[in-house]
Amino acid sequence: MNLRISTAPHIHHPVTTQRLMIYVLLALLPTTAVGIYAFGLPALMLLAISCVTAVLSEFLWQKIAKKRVLISDCSALVTGLILGLNLPANAPWWLAVIGSAFAVLLVKQLFGGLGDNFLNPAMAARAVLLASWPVHMTSFVLPTFFSGADAVTGATPLATKSAQLMDLFMGNIPGTIGEVSKVAILLGLLILLFTRTITWHIPFTMVASVFVFSWLFGADPVYAILSGGVLFGAVFMATDYVTNPMTASGKMIYAAGIGLIIAVIRQFGAYPEGVTYGILLMNIATPLIDRFLPQKIYGRQKEVKKA
């Protein structure tokens, strides 16, 4: 009889990296479904292209670099899907290819692969696309909801500040594939919280921060949190494990910082939207937050209670 010898612990929580990524995909499902329903076949094609490109890029890189092929952890699929959801529905197909490949190869793999990238891959890729092809990235179509009507292009309500709050909430606005329906995003948030994939700290703090700072800077705070990519960013992008702080208090500082940057860019900057840069800038601050936030270690606090 051969008995295995190993050190404790002998058991593990059933959740693995792969299962966490599947939970994220599950949480993205309502948003993806509404996006496809709202924008039709072009949206479906774009999402498919960005997903396939992301997974294929990761696979080829790991083969060529002779690394362990880890596409089964589904992290590349998540990156691809999130990037696709960040594109306007009428974007050309090659934008999705360039974006996904850039996210996976340059932002993630060149910095060491999963866990070692310091920027959120999809967010960094979106920033590059925005800077390189601003026209493609900011010409939005109104959702057609399969009404048969021809797609009408329009500016994001962030720029026009004209949409009704109810339309903003339900998704009847021009915008990227993923950001239009707030209901679907909130459903995704519930899935993430229920599966304990994420904690409340980042999404709630970030939204609260946008609300408070927009109000302080004289904007309509409700409009501010419902328009643009605030909710999508707060639920799916700022919560990227790799690029946010490890402790609960660190996460709240990080999320509050994103909210502040968004409000500043929107009110005082030249861009109508600030979510991308807010998240990227705070991604960069994450190592600092992790490093300098004081730990409360058992038995090492200055005032150990003596009763």
Partner 1 sequence: MLKKTFKRGIHPLHRQGSGKNATKNLPIENYVSDSVVIHMSMNIGAPAVPCVKKGDHVKIGQVIGTAGGFVSVPVHASIAGEVTAVEPIPYLGTGNVTAVTIKNDFSDEWVELHPLGSVENVDPSLVIPAIREAGITGMGGASFPTHVKLTFKEGAVCDTIIVNGAECETHLTADHRLMLENSVRIVDGLRAVMRALIVPKGIIAIEDNKPDAIAAMQKAAAGRIGVQVAVLKTKYPQGGEKQLIEAVSGRQVPSGGLPIDVGVVVLNVGTCAAIADAVIDGMPLVSRVCTVTGCVKEPKNLRIPVGTIVEDMIGACGGFSEDPGKIFFGGAMTGIAIPNIQTPTAKSTNGVVVFNEAESRSKDESPCIRCGKCVAACPIGLNPYQIKVAADASDFAAAEKLHVMDCMLCGSCAYMCPARRWLTPSFRFAKDKIVAERKAAAAKGGSDK
Contact flag: residue 8 with partner 1 (CB under 8 A):
yes
Which parts of 171-244 fold into alpha helices (H)?
A: 182-194, 201-216, 221-226, 230-232
Contact flag: residue 69 with partner 1 (CB under 8 A):
no
Least CB distance to partner 1 at residue 63 (A): 17
Pick from 1, 135, 166, 270 the residue near partner 1 by CB under 8 A: 1
Contact flag: residue 66 with partner 1 (CB under 8 A):
no
Least CB distance to partner 1 at residue 213 (A): 26
C-beta separation of 93 from 42 below 8 A: no
Contact flag: residue 248 with partner 1 (CB under 8 A):
yes
Least CB distance to partner 1 at residue 254 (A): 12
Residues 6+ apart with CB under 8 A from 223: 161, 165, 168
∠ CA 117-114-278, nearest 5°, is: 40
Piece of 1-9, 36-44, 88-96, 222-230 that binds partner 1 (CB under 8 A): 1-9
Pick from 33, 152, 165, 246 the residue near partner 1 by CB under 8 A: 246
Total residues at interface with partner 1 (CB under 8 A):
46
Sign of CA dihedral 166, 168, 172, 173: positive
Which parts of 72-119 fold into alpha helices (H)?
A: 75-85, 93-101
Distance CA 190, CA 204 (A): 12
First to last CA, the chain: 54
Contact flag: residue 75 with partner 1 (CB under 8 A):
yes
Pick from 49, 53, 73, 187 the residue near partner 1 by CB under 8 A: 73
Contact flag: residue 11 with partner 1 (CB under 8 A):
yes
Contact flag: residue 292 with partner 1 (CB under 8 A):
no
Residue 104 is classified by DSSP as I
Pick from 138, 247, 271, 281 the residue near partner 1 by CB under 8 A: 247
Piece of 14-22, 134-142, 144-152, 258-266 that binds partner 1 (CB under 8 A): 14-22
Kindly report whether the peptide bond that precedes residue 92 is cis, defined as omega within 30 degrees of 0.
no
Distance CA 119, CA 142 (A): 31
Contact flag: residue 242 with partner 1 (CB under 8 A):
yes
Distance CA 46, CA 44 (A): 6
Chain contacts with partner 1 (rule: CB under 8 A): 1, 3-13, 15-17, 19-20, 70, 73, 75, 113-116, 199, 241-248, 251, 290, 295-301, 304-307
